[in-house]
Amino acid sequence: MENDTIAAISTPIGEGAIAIVRLSGEEAVSISNKLFSGKDLATVDSHTIHYGKMINTETNEVMEEVMVTVMRAPKTFTREDVVEINCHGGLASVNRLLEHILYHGARLAEPGEFTKRAFLNGRIDLSQAEAVMDLIRAKTDKAMNIALKQLDGKLSKLVQDLRQQLIETVAHVEVNIDYPEYDDVEEMSHQMLKKQTREVYVEVERLLSMAKQGKILREGIATAIIGRPNVGKSSLLNAFVQETKAIVTDIPGTTRDVIEEYVNVRGIPLRLVDTAGIRETEDIVERIGVERSRQALKESDLILLVLNYGEELSDEDRNLFKAVEGLEYIVIVNKTDLEQKLDLEEVKQLAGDQKIITTALIEDKGMDALEEAIADTFFAGDLDSGDLSYVSNVRHIQLLQQTMQALDDAMDAMDAEMPIDLVQIDVTRAWELLGEIIGDTVQDSLIDQLFSQFCLGK
């Protein structure tokens, strides 16, 4: 049943202290009205806020002082009647309120069900729905801004434009199929087709590179800190944590990520991973060997390899270099306050093109340079560029890659002077794939799966 009335606790982003019970559906107002004392909610104007008390209908006790917002369809998030009850009490009392609301006829919303309704009722498209999910999970302000822009429909707009271009391309092809006798039309169309397809291809390629950066902002750079015992790995971890300002946490009462695992480096979330116990491993290579540690380390986006300036390079250090060969890593030469024993020339040789940063963590020196190196590695320094607004997720990235492949096939077919209706198949496929990003051509099962990933109350 899609239009029964659903309810859940839903806390606004950035306002952890206030909890909201949200209802959506035909009976949202009448159910709230049964508990509310202060006014007759059935007669109030839409989009108005009312102060009052929520009464326990069995005992007549006051459960909560509340502010109730009444919003009538269709100008609501779900396009259904929506009531939001702002509570000041703790989680326990909000839970009790929710129980009463369920008792009076609402059904507990499934995770993501509010957003799913918004999507099904045509209020938002799929990429916007995913942005809601991103917002809930956003780990830093920058990641949140990007999600907000996507919610705004920026990605949707771009994808729609590209699809429009492809439709026009396909239309040209249709003309050719319908009037094959005009030879010069075919010749001209071939040229134009190629040009248009290439244009879309280049744009998709650009979106894809943005999408990858967006993914990093959303999910964080999976980072492993490795080095011999005593080189300063824990000190490095602490330095990150100390510099970290408030990180947006998940909403109380919903699934919680382990917050200490995220640190904020110039707006980029670093996720200090513990792949096979690698985070802060003294002797990973020693323990499991170069090959296996390589395998485990491959799961990180970034490895911080810490060395001791005050000691000579050891074979253990050299093995670490072998384990990270070909991966993305930054060498940190720590303890530069000590007398130099480390052969920096050898370190440079081993590191090749990778960056080397010197630190004296004990004196708080070097973190700035390190943070800059990290930002530079992933964003070539221009994190603020407005282009980054097309945040994306794994699903978008896969679809964009498939779109590129389809366009590539189309261009190959054109180059090989294949019959034009064969070219059309590939172009149409690209059009369909782009449609999946905004939910135009996705199957129901995918939609169910996507929305079930949401937190409760959204």
Interacting residues toward Zn ion by CB under 5 A? 234
How far is residue 301's CA from residue 344's CA, in Å, rounded to a whole number? 25
Helix (H, G, I), strand (E, B) or coil at 179: coil
**At closest approach, how far in Å is the CB of 327 from ligand GDP?**
20
381 interacts with, out of Zn ion, ligand GDP, none, CB within 5 to 8 A per kind = none
235, 401, 402, 428: which one binds ligand GDP (CB under 6 A): 235
Which CB contacts under 8 angstroms, 24+ apart, belong to 67-72?
Answer: 68/32, 68/36, 68/41, 70/29, 70/32, 70/41, 70/44, 70/45, 70/46, 71/46, 71/47, 72/29, 72/46, 72/47
CB 156 within 8 A of CB 166: no
338, 356, 367, 397: which one binds ligand GDP (CB under 6 A): 338
How far is residue 391's CA from residue 395's CA, in Å, rounded to a whole number? 12
142, 163, 233, 429: which one binds ligand GDP (CB under 6 A): 233
218 interacts with, out of ligand GDP, Zn ion, none, CB within 5 to 8 A per kind = none
67 interacts with, out of ligand GDP, Zn ion, none, CB within 5 to 8 A per kind = none
Task: Name which of 234 and 349 has its Cβ closer to Zn ion.
Answer: 234
User: Position of tokens 């396909």?
Assistant: 170
337 sits near ligand GDP (criterion: CB under 6 A): yes
Task: Name which of 234 and 255 has its Cβ closer to Zn ion.
Answer: 234
Q: Quick one: CA torsion of 346, 352, 355, 360, rounded to 10 degrees?
A: -10
52 sits near ligand GDP (criterion: CB under 6 A): no
102 interacts with, out of Zn ion, ligand GDP, none, CB within 5 to 8 A per kind = none
DSSP per-residue codes, 121-148: TTSS-HHHHHHHHHHHH--SHHHHHHHH
175 sits near ligand GDP (criterion: CB under 6 A): no
CB 4 within 8 A of CB 25: yes
How far is residue 97's CA from residue 99's CA, in Å, rounded to a whole number? 5
37, 164, 209, 234: which one binds ligand GDP (CB under 6 A): 234
278 sits near ligand GDP (criterion: CB under 6 A): no
**At closest approach, how far in Å is the CB of 350 from ligand GDP?**
19
229 sits near ligand GDP (criterion: CB under 6 A): yes
Q: Are strands 329-334 and 262-265 parallel, antiparallel or unpaired?
A: unpaired
Binding site for ligand GDP (CB under 6 A): 227, 229-235, 280, 334-335, 337-338, 360-362
